[in-house]
Amino acid sequence: MFFLLTKFCKCVLSFGMDVTPRKLTPKQQKFVEEYLCDLNATQAALRAGYSVKTAMAIGAENLKKPQIHAAVQAEMDKRSARTEVTADSVLKEICKIAFSDIRNVFDENGRLLPVHMMSPDVSASISSIKISTKSIPGSDPVDVEHIAELKFWDKNSSLEKLGKHLKLFNDVGSRENPLTVNTELTDEQLTAIAMGKKQ
């Protein structure tokens, strides 16, 4: 009896300790490659050859499978190492836009700085520069003035992203900042609140 129990325990242990990751099927490997293109699980499943009916479900299911999740993470780590793109570098770029100051594009005399003289932080906050020319009426010979039109990346959007990253303002009703409701108010009190009366 002891011999049989020992043998049974050894079998159980051997099965429990098998943590070798399963090899991906060709279709799963294709899914990993396609997912890395746009991080869209449904589209990746479609491009990997899954049917339109099942693409959404299989895409989400694939990302939950340990071996596929590990393969995706490994490829993303490789990409990050190749491109040297890290969470810190992305945040630094967002900060350049969020804390940009329009005064930094002008010199002390109020003239627009040439692009090559702008600091990296300033130039990173500019989305486009358009230079147009305009003839000055009545000038002889004809004089031309150059007009520069600058567009900056969305400062508010960058500040919002930073705020969310730092958890400065969560939406009311979210799990991080749940909306609390007092259910002990009487009908009269609720009516008064609705009418804007003080309690």
Q: Has residue 137 got a pLDDT over 50?
A: yes
CA distance 147 to 197: 56
Dihedral of the alpha carbons of 124, 126, 131, 134, in degrees to the nearest 10 = -150
CA distance 154 to 160: 10
What is the H or E stretch that residue 133 is in? Answer: strand 126-136
CA distance 199 to 196: 9
CA distance 41 to 34: 9
For 8, phi then psi, to 5°, come to: -65, -45
Q: Which CATH architecture has domain 2-83?
A: Orthogonal Bundle (1.10)
- Chain segment 51-100, per-residue pLDDT in tens: 999 999 999 999 999 999 999 999 988 988 888 878 888 899 999 999 99
Q: Has residue 13 got a pLDDT over 70?
A: no
The residue whose two tokens read 């979210």 is 174
Average pLDDT over residues 170-197: 57
For 173, phi then psi, to 5°, come to: 100, -10
At 107 the pLDDT is 93
- Percentage of the chain surpassing pLDDT 70? 75
* Nearest Cα to Cα of residue 100 among 150, 149, 153, 148: 153
Query: Could you tell me if 148 and 131 are in contact, meaning their C-beta atoms sit under 8 angstroms apart?
Result: yes
Domain boundaries of the chain, sorted by first residue: 2-83, 95-156
- Chain segment 91-128, per-residue pLDDT in tens: 999 999 999 999 999 999 999 999 899 999 999 999 99
